[in-house]
Amino acid sequence: MVKLYKTRPLQMWQKAKELRLNYFKEVQAAKEQGKTLVLVDSGSFIELPAGLGNYACLEGHPYGATVGMDLDFARECAEATEARGYARDLCVYTRNFWGSMFLNRYFFGGEFPKPDFTIKRSLCDTESKWLQVCCEHFNIPSFYIDFPLFPDRRTGKEDIDYLANQMNDCIEWMEKITGKKYDDEKLIHAARNEFRTTSLWAEICALNKAIPAPLDQKTIYTLYFPTVVSRYQDDTVHFFEELLAEVKDRVADNIAALATERCRLWDDGIPPWYFLRLYRYLERYGTVVLGSIYTYTLHGAWEDQADGSWGPAKIPEQRGMPMKNRDDALRALALWYLEKPIYQGMCLPGPKNEQLLRIIREWHIDGMMMHLNRGCEGLAMGQMEHRLALLKAHIPVTVYEGNSADKREFDESQVIDRLDAFMESMGMKKLDS
């Protein structure tokens, strides 16, 4: 007999889907509603335009991923980009975004929205060129922020100053190109929402240490979306406050994401968005995928807790950094971004190896699956070293090849065969066979 846990639908699920759709509609209607439309990447400082007043951010990553879920449109976008001489091994989000832009077709209908300007964080070489091409296409101005990467969490005063000073320069630049007076109080409010949202998300993900797990990776992909696109907004903070309360209740009541949970896997990298049913396929083995560094830390704020575990970071004001003026807010934002764990793994394999081993221990993980994603070189860097580190620690690992948003580079049957072989190697059998 297989043990069955209680399970029930997530009450906040529909609200999460509404927030996602509303975001894309907000971008689409921004100009009609008199909003400033800013083009950014998913890691850029989306709080900075807050002082201009009413604005919306068109973020490249979530849009490229959304296009990737529509196989026909994604193929058209990729071909439109490649027809202009861009390589097929380029970042797939870039290809999807550019293709949609070149075709002048917005995924949600109508023409592609024209931004007023761009703000870009120079973290990834491809992304820097991404927004450069957009600026040339739309003939709009851009501002680049140089983001320092460190293989550890060392963050000194000079690092904070370096980043904060650039953000201040960006604010002055935005005032100049828009002719609008910047309101520092609106920036401070947006920054507080950023801190609150990302700390709440880490607290929610930490609750997945429970057995049974209250959430699964496929659900998490929808839940974490507001942390990417609207973490500076009041509605987003309220959403995650309610979600945290619900997930706490699920843990207290032993409510499982998967009623038949008997194996827990950790994920790595960006998934094939057009084949998310791979997570449901694994459920046939009683296997739940708990999450990934991508979903937990892209916009989740973490720090060591008093008991030595990994948990939500204290917001800057709780750490002795009051926000009374623009400089305070910018320095707090600089520290917050510099300490994100996901960036450490983009320098050297060692820091991410340590993160993975810690997660496997604290989240009670039985094994690991890795998507060797040809659509993102940054997050795929070091994966073979991570695999070796886990195998050395006697953690089962499987890998599969593909592309997160280009179905032309994905063999569904081969991936299923690999997952079957992996599950069988761990002594797992399908519950429905």
| Residue-wise pLDDT tens digits, 305-344 | 999 999 999 999 999 999 999 999 999 999 999 888 887 7
Reported as a pLDDT band with limits 50, 70 and 90, residue 59 is very high
Establish whether the linkage from the previous residue to 49 is cis, with ω within 30° of 0. no
Which residues does 165 contact at the CB level (< 8 Å), separation at least 6?
none
Percent of the chain with pLDDT over 90: 84
d(CA 31, CA 340) in angstroms, rounded, equals 33
Which residue from 133, 135, 98 is spatially nearest to 118, judged by alpha carbons? 135
pLDDT digits (tens, 9 = 90+) for 116-145: 999 988 777 777 788 899 999 999 999 999
Which residues does 171 contact at the CB level (< 8 Å), separation at least 6?
48, 51, 182, 187, 326
Q: Is the pLDDT of residue 154 over 70?
A: no
**pLDDT value of residue 206:** 98
Reported as a pLDDT band with limits 50, 70 and 90, residue 235 is very high
Which residues does 330 contact at the CB level (< 8 Å), separation at least 6?
164, 167, 168, 187
d(CA 107, CA 28) in angstroms, rounded, equals 10
Amino acid letter, 208: N
**pLDDT value of residue 89:** 86
Q: Is the pLDDT of residue 422 over 70?
A: yes
What are the φ/ψ torsions at residue 384 (nearest 5 degrees)?
Answer: -70, -35
Per-residue pLDDT averaged across 300-304, rounded?
94
**pLDDT value of residue 152:** 62
Q: Is the pLDDT of residue 233 over 70?
A: yes
Reported as a pLDDT band with limits 50, 70 and 90, residue 414 is very high
Q: Is the pLDDT of residue 10 over 80?
A: yes
Read off the tokens for 333: 């934002």
β-bridge mates for residue 39, sequence order: 58, 118
Reported as a pLDDT band with limits 50, 70 and 90, residue 56 is very high
Reported as a pLDDT band with limits 50, 70 and 90, residue 151 is low
Q: Identify the residue whose tokens are 């879920």.
A: 69
Lowest mean pLDDT among 1-5, 361-365, 417-421: 1-5
**pLDDT value of residue 25:** 94
One DSSP character per residue, 217-250 reads HHHHHHHTHHHHH-TTSHHHHHHHHHHHHHHHHH
**pLDDT value of residue 433:** 60
The backbone region for 39, taken as left when phi is positive above 0, alpha when psi lies in -120 to 50, beta otherwise, is: beta
pLDDT digits (tens, 9 = 90+) for 86-107: 998 889 999 999 999 999 999 9
Read off the tokens for 414: 């081969």
Which residues does 227 contact at the CB level (< 8 Å), separation at least 6?
197, 198, 201, 236, 240, 298, 299, 300
Q: Is the pLDDT of residue 214 over 70?
A: yes
Per-residue pLDDT averaged across 68-80, rounded?
94
**pLDDT value of residue 126:** 77
Mean pLDDT computed over every residue of the chain: 93
Regarding pTM above 0.85, the answer is: yes
d(CA 231, CA 194) in angstroms, rounded, equals 5
Amino acid letter, 311: G
Neighbouring CB atoms inside 10 A of 125's CB total: 11
Amino acid letter, 212: P
Per-residue pLDDT averaged across 17-40, rounded?
94
Write the CA distances from 230 to 23, 226, 256, 408, integer angstroms. Answer: 8, 5, 28, 31
d(CA 36, CA 30) in angstroms, rounded, equals 7
Which residues does 100 contact at the CB level (< 8 Å), separation at least 6?
63, 67, 73, 77, 106, 107, 112
Percent of the chain with pLDDT over 70: 98
What are the φ/ψ torsions at residue 371 (nearest 5 degrees)?
Answer: -90, 110
Contact between residue 113 and residue 58 where contact means Cβ atoms under 8 Å apart: yes
Reported as a pLDDT band with limits 50, 70 and 90, residue 190 is very high
